[in-house]
Amino acid sequence: MSQQASELFDNFQELTPSEFFRKNKQMLGFSGKIRSLTVVFHELITNSFDAAEEAGILPEIKIDLKRLDKEHYVLRHSDNGPGIPEKFIMKVYCTMFAGSKFRNIQSRGQQGLGCSGCVLLSQMTTGEPAHVISGYQENGELKGIKMDFKMDVKKNKGMLLHKEKYPVDHTGVCIELQFKDVSYSLAEQGAFEYIRRTMIGNPHAKIIFRDPSGHKYIFNRASDIVPPLPKEVLPHPKGVTADDLIFMAKHTDKRRFKSLLTSSLSRMSAKRIKEVEELTGIDLNKRPKDMKWAEAEAIVHAFSKMKFMAPPTNGLIPIGSDQIEKGMKQILKPEFITSITRKPVTYKGGVAFIVEAGIAYGGDCGRLISDQRKAEIMRFANRVPLSFDQGSCAITEALKSIDWKRYGIRDLDNAPITLFINIISTQVPYLSTGKQSIAPEPEIVHEVRQASMKLARRLQKHLRKKRAAKEKKMRSKIFEDYVPVILEEAAKLGEVEVPDYEEVLSKVTKRSIADLLGETVEEVEEEEEDALMEELDEFGYKVDEEHSNMTNIENKSVVEELEDELIIEEEDAKKTQSESKQSTLTKNEGD
Ligand SMILES: Nc1ncnc2c1ncn2[C@@H]1O[C@H](COP(=O)(O)OP(=O)(O)OP(=O)(O)O)[C@@H](O)[C@H]1O
């Protein structure tokens, strides 16, 4: 080796992940004061949710954010999850790329970076240690431990400063961290909005948040159902690369290629194995350790030519229409809401995903900007709000490509609309470690587009009905007020009887509404009929066409039912009055 080269190599070093991220904290999403704090909220909240759900617990989180000075805060975050056993606490919070979620499973976390990233940011900006209290069950006993520690960045490990037994009355984790150079904001990308959106995607959660001014916000849960646990799924042959196969071959305990493929990939039957052998000419009885790169490539090439059943989708758990609507109603109190969960499909040929979407109109929908509500697009991946980098995201690309005017939404930006889109997958194709935008895979863009257009059509129907009803009321009133007077006066003058004008009046009204909406009279009549049917359906009536008779589920006559309705309406009015006193989002000043 020449003199020069050895001198150059005098500086040769190895970086631990913590050292790397200390120099590149923006790669963890810590860039900008508002964003950095939001990312901290995001990491801690998603971990609490994942942990609680895995333990079958309805998540309840308490967050307390105090301002110590300008851009200097102390954050206390506690949850009711299963807690972290003592020996894992410093690994969780001080070792980067350590965690329990490196599996092909739908979860919010994927990388083992979030917790340690927060501790690193706190240490880098304040030099202060982290304080953790964990309550956990061990050998049937509830244990509590309090630890103070710092991160040894050079070693990618924790340095314990203090440890003591701590009395706890339930399981869960409480962490306290200080941050400087961050900012709490009510803006769209701020921490408060992050919580609000989190509640929409997670109606089963409860969050109590005390903001820096001392205001306490209680976001109550809208649903008492812990989401079913997603199952781990094996990768699909269409989604693997040659490198994946070589990696699997190196770390398997299987004795043959054959058994490696059937045990590591989904949809690999004996028949498919035979097909691979025929297409590649490779003897699949060989030992996995002997797999050559060219062989792995040939197998992947064969997979691309073969037909497989779609990947199993039991590993994907969507939020579901009912829950999406509950979450949106709780937070947005809209006048209209509709949602959709699309069927599972795949991107890159083998990675399954599901798109779910909801659209809400009126009420508190949209963001309030100087007395005006502007449309808001809420992007989610596995129920987690994506607050940043919207420009490059598959969801944004899909929504931009829709001609909203076709759906009667003339100015989407300025409408009181909230559009919710959630992408569920075991492998969400994030564009970076910050996990804020989804790669615009054509299949994902297509699914988001289809879901949104379906919802837009339903909203259009609602808006049309609303407009028609308003116009109808107004026009009928004009006709009803004036036509009888004119007719009666004319009859008097002509000394004839007042003609029967009801039917003509209804026709004229319909024609004028049709003119207004640019529709035919038949279309208006159809809409009216549909509306009536929907209303009857809502009240549980079924229409017996043969006997042109209407009965409800209890077989009461329509008249009886209407009488009941009047009583129920009165009772409902009384109930609403007392309910309106108990707001779900309670804001107690200085509580
Ligand atoms: N509140 C908590 N309760 C119980 N376990 C937790 C909690 N927070 C974190 N953990 C454990 O610590 C591990 C590391 O968390 P971390 O946030 O660093 O990474 P992750 O959630 O696996 O992935 P990502 O970096 O994508 O968020 C988790 O996998 C989980 O096992």
Domains of the chain with bracketed CATH = 17-219 (3.30.565.10), 237-305 (1.10.8.50), 321-461 (3.30.230.10)
Q: State residue 311's pLDDT score.
A: 82
Q: Is the CB of residue 67 less than 8 Å from the CB of residue 212?
A: yes
ipTM for the whole complex: 0.96
Q: Alpha helices of 253-347 — where are they, by DSSP H?
A: 257-264, 270-280, 293-305, 321-332
294 CA distance to ligand 1 middle (Å)? 38
Expressed in angstroms and rounded, the spacing between residue 300 Cα and the centre of ligand 1 is: 33
pLDDT tens sequence across 281-315: 999 999 999 999 999 999 999 999 999 888 888 88
Q: Which two tokens stand for residue 264?
A: 């590591």
The verdict on the CB of residue 552 being under 6 Å from ligand 1 is no
3-state secondary structure of 217: strand
pLDDT category, 120, cuts 50, 70, 90? very high
> Which residue's CA is minimally distant from atom 2 of ligand 1?
48
pLDDT of 583 > 50? The answer is no
| Ligand 1 in reach of 101 Cβ (< 6 A) | yes
| Cα 102 to ligand 1 centre (Å) | 11
Question: Does residue 565 register a pLDDT over 90?
Answer: no
Q: Which amino acid is at 577?
A: Q
Q: What is the pLDDT of residue 549?
A: 41
- Give per-residue pLDDT as tens, 214-228: 999 999 999 999 998
Q: Is 85 exposed, middle or buried (0-12, 13-18, 19+ CB in 10 A)?
A: middle
Q: Judge if the beta carbon of residue 51 lies within 6 A of ligand 1.
A: yes
Coil vs helix vs strand at 146: strand
92 lines ligand 1 (CB under 6 A): yes
Torsion of CA 338, 344, 347, 351, to 10 degrees: 130
State which of 27, 40, 47, 57 you would mutate to test the pocket of ligand 1, scoring each by most atoms of that ligand within 8 A of its C-beta.
47
Whether 67 contacts 210, CB under 8 Å: no
Q: Is the CB of 48 under 6 A from ligand 1?
A: yes
Residues 6+ apart with CB under 8 A from 18: 94, 95, 96, 116, 120, 151, 153, 154, 156
Closest atom of ligand 1 to 117 CA is 18
- Please report which residue ranges of 136-201 form alpha helices under DSSP H: 191-201
Taking residues 16-43, report their average pLDDT. Answer: 90
How far apart, in whole angstroms, are the C-alpha atoms of residue 516 and residue 522? 14
pLDDT at 575: 54
Cα–ligand 1 centroid distance for 152 (angstroms):
19
Chain Cα centroid distance, residue 117: 23
Instruction: Give the nearest ligand 1 atom to 92 CA.
Output: 12
Which amino acid residue places its CA nearest to atom 17 of ligand 1?
114
Distance from residue 85's CA to the centre of ligand 1 (Å): 13
> What pLDDT sits at residue 369?
75
